[in-house]
Amino acid sequence: MKKLVSSIALLAATMPVAAGDFELTGSVGLENRLFFEKGALPGQISTYQPSLELEADLRWQSSDRAWDVVVIPYTRLDAKDGERTHFDLREAYVRWTGDEWTVRAGLGKVFWGVAESVHLVDIINQSDSVEDIDNEDKLGQPMLEVSTQRDWGQITAYVMPGFRKRTFPGADGRLRPALLVDNDLALFDEGTDDDNDVDFALRYSHYFGDWDVGLSFFHGANREARFIPNSEATALIPHYDDITQFGVDIQYTKDAWLWKFEALVRDSAFETYAAAVGGFEYTFYGVSEAGADLGLLLEFQYDGRSDDPAIAPFTVADNDVFVGARYALNDADDTSILAGIVTDVDDASMSGVIEATKRFGDNWVAEIEGRFFMNVDPDNVAFAFKDDSHVMFRLTRYF
């Protein structure tokens, strides 16, 4: 962390303090989750979980466009679950862009991959799981990122001092295991503090005709944790093991077809395993007079890791099929609906999702998100969520 601060200071010191473009925008969102059933655990929220989201977006760019600074503070205030009330700097970095090289230092956010139902190779940022269990909300990752763009593709190297622990619901919260996860007890290969350890990653990305290809390497503390109960069996201790991971993501784009594939090999002190997700997205364009699109999605998820928490973190996407449909109206309000179901091939446990969004006027966006757990087998990891089916309504005002 200290190294990072000094490198930011170094970058900032060489920055021209000339006037550039400054921009401040932001958003305020009010949401409410409605659970269909009472919580199975004592003390859990029974029905409503209202909360408020605030985000600001500050940007500055030098007039020669070589330097830019981005700061995105974010906070959620949850009326019911104190652990879900939290603050994060989603991004806070300085970046220099030259002809062939880009250097960025600070808190950044990076996405790798092509699949829709699970983001397998994506590993740079820790998931802000207390936001939503889809792991698409991320915590800002301290990093020094050096990237070069050449005719043959883009190579990016990441040096990551400092580790972000995953966020988990509190005692009042839903969508949690029976025992609470206590991040204060977290264990790393180096002991209780990972800040002296530095993680590394490397990424190659390019396209060849209709093929988009990404190769990635990561070495450092796993963003997923193994959960082991403490000796009193009153809490779960997260174990963030050191891992080495090789990943590949490929998309083949032909006419209205998008064929997607992601795979990884991950090695820890306990095991080496492979995982993959693959499938397609096919879109029927112009299904309505006004030009709406209907996309159909199908993906297979496989994960070869051990289901023993002494060896590997749990995953729900071990042998599952995702089927989904996306309907986009292509209207002025960007109205769209996505619905999908993931079914476990082994025990037929199902989880469904519906997401709908629509803009009102220029600055208001309304969203509905529903998550449903159906037919959950007692041996499935998702069994802890079996009573947590819910619908979330969110109204956001952008400034």
Q: Give the residues lining the site for another protein (CB under 8 A).
A: 25, 27, 57, 59, 61, 68, 95, 97, 99-100, 102, 109-111, 113-114, 136, 147, 149, 154, 205, 207, 212, 251, 253, 255-258, 283, 285-286, 290-291, 293, 330-334, 359, 361-363, 365, 396, 398-399
Residue 279 C-beta: closest distance to another protein, Å: 15
With respect to another protein, which residue has the nearer C-beta, 100 or 232? 100
Q: Determine the residue type at 248.
A: V
State the minimum distance, in angstroms, from the CB of residue 169 to another protein. 23
Q: Which is nearer to another protein, 184 or 255 (CB)?
A: 255
List residues bridging with 25 in a β-sheet: 57
Q: Which two tokens stand for residue 343?
A: 């079914």
Q: Which is nearer to another protein, 86 or 359 (CB)?
A: 359
3-state helix/strand/coil string of the chain: CHHHHHHHHHHHHCCCCCCEEEEEEEEEEEEEEEECCCCCCCCCCCCEEEEEEEEEEEEEEECCCCEEEEEEEEEEEECCCCCCCEEEEEEEEEEEECCCEEEEEEEECCCCCCCCCCCCCCCCCCECCCCCCCCCCECCEEEEEEEEEECCEEEEEEEEECCCCCCCCCCCCCCCCCCEECHHHCEECCECCCCCCEEEEEEEEEEECCEEEEEEEEEEECCCCEEEECCCCCEEEEEECEEEEEEEEEEEEECCEEEEEEEEEEECCCCEEEEEEEEEEEEECCCCCCCCEEEEEEEEEEECCCCCCCCCCCCCCCEEEEEEEEEECCCCCCCEEEEEEEEECCCCCEEEEEEEEEEECCCEEEEEEEEEEECCCCCCHHHHHCCCCEEEEEEEEEC
Name the token pair of 301.
Answer: 């998820």
CB of 196 vs another protein, minimal distance in Å:
28
Q: Judged by CB, which is closer to another protein: 366, or 381?
A: 366
Residues 6+ apart with CB under 8 A from 76: 51, 52, 53, 54, 84, 85, 86, 131
Rounded to a whole number of angstroms, the minimum distance from the CB of residue 52 to another protein is 17
Q: What's the min distance (Å) between Cβ of 248 and another protein?
A: 16
Q: Which is nearer to another protein, 228 or 294 (CB)?
A: 294
Q: Given the complex with another protein, which of 88 and 388 has the nearer CB atom?
A: 88
Q: 37: number of CA atoms within 13 Å, CB side?
A: 13
The distance of closest approach from Cβ of residue 42 to another protein in the complex, given in angstroms and rounded to an integer, is: 36
- Residue 85 or 330: the one with the smaller Cβ distance to another protein is 330
Min dist CB 14 to another protein, Å, is 19
CB of 151 to another protein, least distance (A): 8
Say how far apart CA 278 and CA 298 lie, in whole Å: 8
Q: How far is the CB of 198 from another protein (least distance, A)?
A: 22
* Closer residue to another protein in complex, CB, 39/214: 214
Q: Would you give the distance in Å from CA 108 to the centre of its chain?
A: 13
Q: Which is nearer to another protein, 36 or 207 (CB)?
A: 207
| Closest to another protein by CB, 237 or 338 | 338
Provide, rounded to whole angstroms, the least separation between the CB of residue 103 and another protein. 12
Are the C-beta atoms of residues 263 and 248 closer than 8 Å to each other? yes
